[in-house]
Amino acid sequence: MAAETTSEFGEHGHLAVLDPEFAPFADLLPPRSKTDVGVRRKQFEDGPIAASMKNYGVGLPNESTYAVKDQEINVAGPPAGKIRVRTLVPTSSEEGKTYPLYVWFHGGGWTVGNVDMDDYQLRQLCVELQISVVNVEYRLAPEHPTPIPQDDCYTGIKWAVENQVLLSADVKKGFLVGGLSSGGHITAVLAHRARDDPWFEGRRITGHIMQIPAFCHPDAVPEEYKGSLFSFKQNEVTPGLSVADLEWFYKQLGGSPTSPDVSPLLHPVHAGLPPAVFQICGLDPLRDEGLLYGKILRNDGVKTRVHTYGGVPHGFNYMLPNIAAAKRWEREYREGLRWILDGAPGEA
């Protein structure tokens, strides 16, 4: 578990104090294989993915209120191939009705995971918020190292924009991208890429959501920021995600640690990014870089909302959806989406 919270862990160290509702479960979460990709994938399917489908399946909207479809789309690569996207579209008696567009990237350390992971939650959001959703299943490392996962997701974004009619979507009503963990990392990478891409002229992303994201390879942290990143030490051995886990995932992703595709915090320009929503866990080794990235964006004039969840680890809400912190997570997730859909009112 996390080291004792003392002043040596900086201004955010108090966020590692165990949540009383989480504490009884802290030592019960199963360990993960440290080396075998196949074993990790099976553990992820049997753990977080199965838990997500069980827990969010309880609140699924009526099947008549939305349409779901899996499709294969071509990716140019290199290497060329195909990826799966799962589309969710609200149903309406009003002919020609259109909705905002939300493109989502699952988590799993770029190495595990699939579209089932957040499927049921996204079905709820589709109906509750009346948004069209494209859930992208990118190719996984280490078989497909960086920048393939990022490029696949970028293809998914462009496919969604090009198929607005198919999706009953209208990006002028809202165009959001988001992801969790490695999906949050990919979201940050692609927000920069899309900002600089003239292809998106007239159809710009209007907001991005990053949940428990990674922003900087541990070997690439700039000297100026090392004094503000304490969560790697404080949360070195925690359930959900340990430092050893994170290092293993980065090794599978590959690439140069200083590349903005690997460490989006190092991108030379953050100004001009769309409004951003962050959800960050206090027992996560990624905590402080998430808070730092939010501060950097805010200082560069990007409108931000940053939510923290003290005393709970990376991905806690999948396994323990009924504790108060998980319920607040769900509420603030929806509030963040609505904030972006409303045009992100307020100051940066």
Q: Which DSSP string corresponds to 54-123?
A: HHHHTTPPPGGGEEEEEEEEEE--SSPEEEEEEEEEE--SSTT--B-EEEEE--STTTS--TTTTHHHHH
Mean pLDDT along residues 242-268: 97
Other Cβ atoms less than 10 A from the Cβ of 91: the count is 14
Query: Under a CB-based contact definition with an 8 Å cutoff, are residues 133 and 87 in contact?
Result: yes
**Beta-carbon contacts of residue 1 (< 8 Å; ≥ 6 apart):** 18, 26, 27, 237, 238, 239
Q: What is the pLDDT of residue 348?
A: 66
* Predicted confidence (pLDDT) at residue 193 exceeds the cutoff of 60: yes
CA distance 206 to 184: 16
pLDDT > 80? residue 34 = no
Q: Is the pLDDT of residue 252 over 90?
A: yes
Domains of the chain in start order, with CATH, are 7-341 (3.40.50.1820)
Tell me what the pLDDT averaged over the chain comes to: 95
Residues shown for the chain: 348
* Cis check: omega of the bond before 142, within 30 degrees of 0: yes
- Asked whether the beta carbons of 154 and 147 are under 8 A apart, the reply is no
Task: Please give the Cα distance from 206 to 178 (Å, whole number).
Answer: 11
Grade residue 345 by pLDDT with cuts at 50, 70 and 90: very high
Can you list the alpha helix ranges (DSSP code H) found in the chain? 37-44, 50-57, 119-129, 148-162, 182-195, 223-226, 231-234, 243-253, 287-299, 316-319, 324-341
Per-residue pLDDT band for 347 (boundaries 50, 70, 90) equals confident
pLDDT above 90 coverage of the chain, percent: 90
The reported pLDDT for the residue numbered 5 is 47
Lowest mean pLDDT among 3-7, 183-187, 319-323: 3-7
What's the rounded mean pLDDT across residues 151-169? 99
| 314 assigned to active site | yes
Query: Which of 52, 284, 288, 307 does the annotation list as catalytic?
Result: 284
Contacts of 305 (CB under 8 A, 6+ apart): 275, 276, 277, 278, 336, 339
Whole-number pLDDT of residue 2: 45
- pLDDT at residue 7 tops 70: no
Given a contact cutoff of 8 angstroms between Cβ atoms, the answer to whether 45 and 338 are in contact is: no
Residue 51 has pLDDT above 90, yes or no: yes
CA-CA distance, 115 to 84, in Å (whole number)?
8
Output the pLDDT for position 3. Answer: 45
Percent of the chain with pLDDT over 70: 96
pLDDT band at 11 (very low <50, low <70, confident <90, very high): confident
The pLDDT tens digits of the residues spanning 54-108 come to 999 998 999 999 999 999 999 998 999 999 999 999 999 899 999 999 999 999 9
pLDDT at 41 over 70: yes
Give the span between the Cα atoms of 90 and 128, in whole angstroms. Answer: 9
pLDDT at 33: 55
Among 12, 192, 267, 314, the active-site one is 314
Does residue 73 contact residue 82 with C-beta atoms inside 8 Å?
yes
- For residue 32, what pLDDT is reported? 64
290 has pLDDT over 80 = yes
Across 141-158, average pLDDT: 98
How far apart are alpha carbons 188 and 277 in whole angstroms? 11
Catalytic entry in 52, 181, 182, 242: 181
More confident residue, 1 or 276: 276
CA 123, CA 119: separation in Å to the nearest integer?
6
Interval 239-247 mean pLDDT: 94
Cis peptide preceding 285, ω within 30 of 0: no
CB count within 10 Å of CB 158 equals 16
What is the per-residue pLDDT across 200-241, written as a single tens digit (0 to 9) for each? 999 999 999 999 999 999 999 999 999 889 999 999 999 999
What average pLDDT does the segment 266-285 reach?
98
Q: Distance (Å, rounded) from C-alpha 224 to C-alpha 37?
A: 35
Active site residue 284: yes
Pairing between strand 304-309 and 276-281?
Answer: parallel
Task: Classify 200 as helix, strand or coil.
Answer: helix
Q: Between 8 and 312, whose confidence is greater?
A: 312
Residue type, 256: S
Identity of the amino acid at 304? T
Contact 22, 311 (CB under 8 A): yes
CB 266 within 8 A of CB 220: yes
70 forms bridges with which residues in the sheet? 86
Report the 10 Å Cβ neighbour count for 345: 8
